[in-house]
Amino acid sequence: MTIPLIDQLADASLLKEQAYIGGRWVDAQSNNTFDVVDPATQKIIARVADLGAAETAQAIELADTAMREWRAKAPKQRSDILERWYQLIVDNTEDLAIIMSAEQGKMLAESRGEIAYSASFIKWFAEEGKRVYGDVISSAQTDRRGITIKQAIGVVAAITPWNFPSAMITRKVAPALAVGCAVVLKPAAETPLSALALAELAHRAELPAGLLNIITGVDAVAIGGELTSNKRVKKLTFTGSTPVGKLLMAQCANTVKRTSMELGGNAPIVIFDDADLDLVMPGIINAKFRNSGQTCISANRILVQKGIYDTFIARLQDAASTFNFGTYSDGNSTHGPLITQTAVDNVDAKVQHAVAQGANLVCGGEKNDSTGYFYPATILTDLTREMAIFNEEIFGPVAAIYPFDTEQQAIDMSNDTPFGLAAYVYTESMRRSWRVAEALEYGMVGVNETAISAETVPFGGVKESGQGREGSKYGLDDYLEIKYICFGSMDK
């Protein structure tokens, strides 16, 4: 018998089913709710308030009012509150990890890691918010002095995905709050519980009412429409698919909102003949199979030089054979489910299409009829860049392997995509690593490393993978406006 989620928590009050607006827990005006389902068991674990455009507009108005006092506070005052929020997240890591695993499906070890990663952004931006500097600008006129200052952009709308339901929130909310903005956040309908738990901890940290609002709901069109059209919202930040990102950018054009977008990826991982396979294997397993392949920087196209092609495939098959897909509560599980049945069907369709086009199925490739949205570790070989899968983001535990001959061929294959989020290179040659890393048209490149994310480094892509950077000192820029002030008649 499955233990109810609330009974698994040391602090049951972290499990919230109401939305959070203006510092209060509220039901939908319609009193409607929607189900949150554990993707590993297909059991309902919560029924959450189903809000729409009206509640979103109310949250925006409250955020606009709350922000005026918040941005006037000294940066250290804002920092102290963020520090308290950070510590509460750390202190409640296990409960937050259980909530995340229950609604998203990832293993508890991965969820614990994400909670630590999530908290790191709050800690980082609590400090960086105190380091927002301006400039003194020399003037051609002797009676004038010019300065620039940076000010909070205004109310921020944030839309976050289900694959990292905690980290994608703090990576946006922490810099916004640190510089004096307020946030209206819509989490993914598949994973709202992590967002609500974070809001409860922010409430305990005494974050003033109205600065963080969580709008839960399944009507993404209505909620998104209000976020993009409301004149009080000055910026929209979104993590999700490229088609949806393009739509949101178009909707924001009418009110000329600032946007930052972290969109789809089609990450290559280039493995040269001279690569150390003992180093490559843990890297490729992390890059391809972490979160069962449901990350935007997953190794989507594995390019292997022909000299080690067969050896690499054999070693990867051996590694994949040790995976055990199951629930987070099963100590024998190494990997979790996909998020929905639709996700399973989409991944399987890509695999079957590739096989129909001539790909070799080494292992996996069969949908599981048992309970839960599981898909097995799958390896495809003998792929070419002419196949449809070469241009598709797989978002599942499918390793698509392509042979190549020369360095230039690998670069050309890697860049042959409209996306440009992350790429990886394995080689023992320092000269080659510089050449290839600089030639790859991606916002992030890992050389002999696939664990490239941290709060201290800029995360973001080029081309149709998005705009803007999250994390690092650059992560504040999208939440600030530069104001120029000219002082005249200074010689009087």
Please tell me whether residue 396 adopts helix, strand or coil conformation: coil
**Where does CATH 3.40.605.10 sit in the chain?**
5-263+466-483
Sign of CA dihedral 207, 471, 478, 56: negative
The CATH code of the domain at 5-263+466-483 is 3.40.605.10
pLDDT at 1: 57
Active site residues: 262, 296
Contact partners, residue 388, CB within 8 Å, separation at least 6:
350, 353, 354, 357
Tokens of 175: 């810099």
Count of residues making up the chain? 492
pLDDT at 354: 98
- Closest alpha carbon to 155 in 117, 200, 211: 211
Q: What is the DSSP string of 211-233?
A: SEEE---S-HHHHHHHHHH-TTE
Q: Which CATH class name applies to 267-454?
A: alpha beta
Q: What is the DSSP string of 282-340?
A: HHHHHHHHGGGG-STTSEEEEEEEGGGHHHHHHHHHHHHTT--B--TT-TT-SB---S-
Residue ranges, the chain, pLDDT below 70: 1
pLDDT at 51: 98
Widest CA span of the chain, in angstroms?
Answer: 84
**Where does CATH 3.40.309.10 sit in the chain?**
267-454
Q: How far apart are CA 118 and CA 196, in angstroms?
A: 14
Radius of gyration of the chain (CA): 24
Half-sphere exposure of 308 (CA within 13 A, CB side): 20
Q: How far apart are CA 23 and CA 66, in angstroms?
A: 10
DSSP H helical segments within 33-132, as ranges?
53-70, 75-91, 93-104, 108-128
pLDDT at 492: 74
